[in-house]
Amino acid sequence: MPSLLILNGPNLNLLGTREPEIYGSDTLADIEALSKVRAAEHDLTVECLQSNSEGALVDAIQDAKSKHCGVVLNAGAYTHTSIALRDAIASVDLPVIELHVSNVFAREQFRHYSYISEVCIGVICGFGITGYGLAIDALAARMEAVP
C-alpha cells in the first residue's frame, strides 16, 4: 500500500500546551491520528515523525524517497531559516507540501518568508490541524492524476 511521510519539525511535540492561543489545543498525537484516518480513506498509510533536529529532518526527507510517495512537512521555524531542508526537498523526486498550523502571514514579519516553498508543490497554512487532512487529500489527488 502506498505511504506518505508526515514530518513535523521543532517544537511541534509541544502542541496542545505551547501557545494555545496561536496553535490551539490539539496535540501531535491528534495530528498523527487524524493523518492515519485520512490516509486510510485514500488507501494510503502514513509514517509520522517529529524531530527538533534539522539534520534528522534532512535525513528523513532523503530516506523518504525509497519509502514514500509524498511528504507533508511542517518544518516549524526551520521553514524560515533552513537552506539544508530546501536542498533536501529539491534533491528527492517526491511531492512535498509545506504546512503550518497557524497563519504565518498574520504573524511576525520574519515568518513571512519560506526557504522551502519554492521546492514544494503547495503550501497550506492557518487551518490548524485540519491542514494535515487537506494536505493528504491534495497528495492523494496528485497521485491519482499522475500515473
* Annotation: CATH topology of 3-145: Rossmann fold (3.40.50)
Q: What is the pLDDT of residue 23?
A: 85
What does the block give as the cell for 17? 500546551
Query: What is the full DSSP assignment across 68-127?
Result: -SEEEEE-GGGGGT-HHHHHHHHHS-S-EEEEESS-GGGS-GGGG--SSGGGSSEEEESS
Percent of the residues in the chain that have a pLDDT greater than 70, as a whole number: 99
Q: What is the pLDDT of residue 18?
A: 87
Q: What is the pLDDT of residue 147?
A: 61
Q: What is the pLDDT of residue 71?
A: 98
Catalytic site positions: 23, 100
pLDDT tier at 46, thresholds 50, 70, 90: very high
Enumerate the domain spans of the chain: 3-145
Q: What is the pLDDT of residue 145?
A: 79
Contact between 135 and 5 (Cβ < 8 Å): no
Residues 56-82: what's their mean pLDDT? 97
pLDDT tier at 20, thresholds 50, 70, 90: confident
Question: For 91-139, how does the pLDDT look when each residue is reduced to its tens digit (9 = 90+)?
Answer: 999 999 999 999 988 788 888 999 999 999 999 999 999 999 999 999 9
Mean pLDDT of the chain: 95
Q: What is the pLDDT of residue 30?
A: 97
Q: Which residue has the higher pLDDT, 44 or 109?
A: 44
Residues 85-93: what's their mean pLDDT? 97
